[in-house]
Chains A and B, each alone.
Chain A
Amino acid sequence: MKLNVFRISLPVVVLCCLVTVIPAADLPNKPLPKLKLFSTGGTIQGSGPRRDEVANYKPARFTPKQLLDDLPEANKVADITCEEIAATGSGGIDTKIQLKLAKQINAWLAQPDSAGAVVTHGTATLEETAYFLNLVVRSDKPVLVVGAMRPHSAISRDGPLNLYNAFRTAVAPEARDKGVMVLLNDEINAARDVTKTNTERPNTFESRDLGPIGFADSDRIVFYRRLLYRHTHKSEFDVSQLNELPKVDIVYGYQEGGRAAVDALITAGAKGIVLDDSSPGFAAAVKDGRAKGIVFVQSDRKGSGRVLEKETSLERCIITADNLNAQKARQLLRMALTKTTDLKEIQRMFNEY
């Protein structure tokens, strides 16, 4: 065992010395960092009937290989291979695809010579998958999730630049330990905080409370923020042995909203429910749901600011979602329920992730 380690580490030490002694510019054939493009589909791979058609198109028509072939400049940034995980739009992404994606990314990033990963995704649920990955990727190597607001067939398509910038960011040393990042429109947003804010504009992704953490500008990749909550390699969640996740659903709160939706979801097998704001019917539904062991999380439909922890929150058996939106609270509650159903413990997770 010891001998083996020695045999592997000696060449590594020699290589390290070479790298530090010889300046990069003097190495004509310096190997490029290795990246993998994991594709799931979305508008960034979408195709429409004409190039002026930016609304009526089909997602996931161009293969990842085609995206790379259309972007030869990326070959100067990194040595890029692709792996197709799915070929669907945002609406087609399910737990099965998410788990496969996470496991394949973990396998790739566990390889010592991999530098990072880039994922294509439809924009409508991109933030959900990105936050899910932020909870379960077990590496501090950069993971970038990219999308586009215009299909690859259209004029002024935003996909190629988003993809190119994602590759640049994924090989930037400063991008390590920043969790999973979402990159569209030159802005590097943290997976936890970013949300889609507009139905069609290329600047749709924003972190409403906290802003971007950096920019993929033409002159350099620049970061202004370090993240303080737990993510990726600091996360306690592990999907390696999981083939499914607990069913968690969301109910939107509004005037005169009843309890019927909550009851129906529980009947259908929900183990957890995110209440997005409040309806008059929720209180009774929570009381009955708790008797069946269902876990409830309170988020807020306003889209900015925290749900405050009040003295009565846990007394009412409701976990507060901090400033996670409902769809992200759902992702975290699913992972939390793989570990525990204890309310205090789940509240701790909502305070830390």
Chain B
Amino acid sequence: MKTTSVLIALGSLAHAITAQEIPKAAPPITKDTSHLPQVVLVSMGGTIASRAADRMNITNYGGKNTPRVDPQDWLHDLPELANLARITLEDFRPDVDRKERETFEDMRTVAKRLNELASDPAVDGVVVTHGTNTMAEVAFYVNLTVKTDKPIVFVGSQRPWTGISGDGPINLFDAVRVAASPLSRGKGVLHCMNYNINTARDVTKTSAYRIQTFKGVDVGVIGFADPDKVVYYREPTRKHTLTSEFAGMDFESLPPVEIFYSYTEAPGYVIDAAVEHGAKGIVVDGIGAGAATNSETEAIKRAQAKGVVVVMTARVHGGRVQETVNRTAANLVNGDNLPPEKARILLQLALTKTSDWRAVKKYFDEY
């Protein structure tokens, strides 16, 4: 009886499985690369440039005692990239020993270099790696300050380069494909992870560890880096890159702008403190549709009396903060559907042009 059922089970298999080996070598690498686009791979570091001591470690990686992934290591580990583009490397990783992290200077330096690369006729596209925590706002800054219609694609990974089932290699491979594609031109700064192509304006990190963390919360992706092809369905209508008023500009520093998160009983005195410290703009990540507490509202009035511009965003992180009669009467800029960290960057840039809240509001309506 037993024998019979085993035989039936075997018979129902379409074919017997033979032992396979995992392919270790890269596919044949093309010899003649003259027809391939030139893509510059700029490393700003991040998890994608991190190692851990063993491959099962996907959370406690990096640190001073673990060597980082040098940009040339990516080319060594992924020789397939040579079939996609002629790749040159640039290293903009912040110094590991430095105390300050996520500084404006890092963002400024790379934006300046991206403007140079963009104006180099030999360059067809750029890939920028970055840590995932702040890459969306850095990409947004680049989206507003780099003057080009060439693809600039931000990429990162949720697991270190050395981690088991690491998402870094395929994300990097896809980002290079996107940067090398002529279809990617003129769409503003892009973000590519997990096959999804998002816009710098709309993409945001939504999960601490999952690989599908990056989403356009309100308006979704504009295309895919699918295995068969890079495909686009949409392009952004808001101003960016070539149409941005800040395109090609280099700022030594930006006016200080701080963010305040709202909640029941959120106090206004922290806003007062920021203004005393010299803040020129305030972003209040308001409750619900973008509202502040009474205490915050009083502090906002005091701040506005000193010329500070105040933008309202919504901590619900979905949907726009709208222009309303009350908000207009209170001289508050409605932050549209930008998250507070991106509203901060737009406000900083707007404040280099004007300190009139109505003029600032126009930037929030258009960018």
| A interface, CB within 8 angstroms of B | 174, 193, 207, 209-213, 215, 217-220, 222-229, 305-306, 308-310, 322
Q: How close is B227's CB to chain A, nearest CB, in angstroms?
A: 6
Which B residues are in CB contact (< 8 Å) with A211?
216, 218-221
Query: Which B207-261 residues have C-beta < 8 A from chain A?
Result: 216, 218-222, 224, 226-229, 231-238
How far, in whole Å, are A174 and B202 apart by their CA atoms in the complex? Answer: 19
Q: Which of B77-85, B107-115, B317-325 contacts A (4 or more CB under 8 A)?
A: B317-325
Query: Which B279-337 residues have C-beta < 8 A from chain A?
Result: 319-320, 322-324, 334, 336
How far, in whole Å, are A223 and B336 apart by their CA atoms in the complex? Answer: 12
8 Å CB contact of A229 from B233, B236, B334: B233
How far, in whole Å, are A207 and B216 apart by their CA atoms in the complex? Answer: 12
How far, in whole Å, are A308 and B224 apart by their CA atoms in the complex? Answer: 11
How far, in whole Å, are A103 and B324 apart by their CA atoms in the complex? Answer: 41
Which B residues are in CB contact (< 8 Å) with A219?
322-324, 334
29 CB < 8 A contacts A-B: A193-B233, A207-B220, A209-B220, A209-B221, A209-B233, A211-B220, A211-B221, A212-B219, A212-B220, A213-B219, A213-B234, A215-B218, A215-B320, A217-B322, A218-B324, A219-B322, A219-B323, A220-B323, A224-B219, A224-B236, A225-B219, A225-B235, A225-B236, A225-B237, A306-B226, A308-B228, A309-B228, A310-B228, A322-B231
Q: How many residues of B contact A (CB 8 A)?
A: 27
Q: How close is B171's CB to chain A, nearest CB, in angstroms?
A: 17
8 Å CB contact of B234 from A226, A305, A309: A226
Are the CB atoms of B218 and A228 closer together than 8 Å?
no
Which B residues are in CB contact (< 8 Å) with A223?
237
Are the CB atoms of B233 and A227 closer together than 8 Å?
yes
Are the CB atoms of A227 and B322 closer together than 8 Å?
no
Chain A residue at minimal CB-CB distance from B215: A211
Main secondary structure of the interface of A (DSSP, over half): loop
Which A residues are in CB contact (< 8 Å) with B234?
210, 213, 225-228
Which A residues are in CB contact (< 8 Å) with B232?
228
Chain A residue at minimal CB-CB distance from B229: A309
Chain A residue at minimal CB-CB distance from B231: A306
How far, in whole Å, are A310 and B234 apart by their CA atoms in the complex? Answer: 23
How far, in whole Å, are A84 and B320 apart by their CA atoms in the complex? Answer: 36
Q: How close is B363's CB to chain A, nearest CB, in angstroms?
A: 15
Q: How close is B221's CB to chain A, nearest CB, in angstroms?
A: 6
Most buried by A among B202, B226, B229, B238: B226
Which B residues are in CB contact (< 8 Å) with A210?
220-222, 233-234
Which A residues are in CB contact (< 8 Å) with B334?
219
8 Å CB contact of B320 from A217, A228, A309, A322: A217
How far, in whole Å, are A219 and B233 apart by their CA atoms in the complex? Answer: 28
Which B residues are in CB contact (< 8 Å) with A229?
233
How far, in whole Å, are A25 and B323 apart by their CA atoms in the complex? Answer: 21
Known: A210-B222, A211-B218. 5 other contacts (CB 8 A): A217-B322, A223-B237, A224-B202, A228-B232, A309-B229
Q: How close is A281's CB to chain B, nearest CB, in angstroms?
A: 14
Are the CB atoms of A226 and B233 closer together than 8 Å?
no
Which B residues are in CB contact (< 8 Å) with A224?
202, 218-219, 236-238
Which B residues are in CB contact (< 8 Å) with A222?
320, 336
How far, in whole Å, are A306 and B196 apart by their CA atoms in the complex? Answer: 12
How far, in whole Å, are A271 and B234 apart by their CA atoms in the complex? Answer: 32
Which A residues are in CB contact (< 8 Å) with B231?
306, 322
Most buried by A among B221, B229, B233: B233
Q: How close is A192's CB to chain B, nearest CB, in angstroms?
A: 8
Which 4 pairs show the lowest CB-CB distances between chains A and B?
Answer: A211-B220, A219-B323, A219-B322, A225-B234
Which A residues are in CB contact (< 8 Å) with B238?
224
How far, in whole Å, are A232 and B278 apart by their CA atoms in the complex? Answer: 54
Most buried by A among B219, B224, B336: B219
Are the CB atoms of A226 and B235 closer together than 8 Å?
yes
How far, in whole Å, are A229 and B320 apart by their CA atoms in the complex? Answer: 27
Q: A226-B235, A228-B233, A309-B228 are in contact. Are A218 and B322 (CB under 8 A)?
A: yes
Q: How close is A306's CB to chain B, nearest CB, in angstroms?
A: 6
Q: How close is B82's CB to chain A, nearest CB, in angstroms?
A: 22
Which B residues are in CB contact (< 8 Å) with A209?
220-221, 224, 233
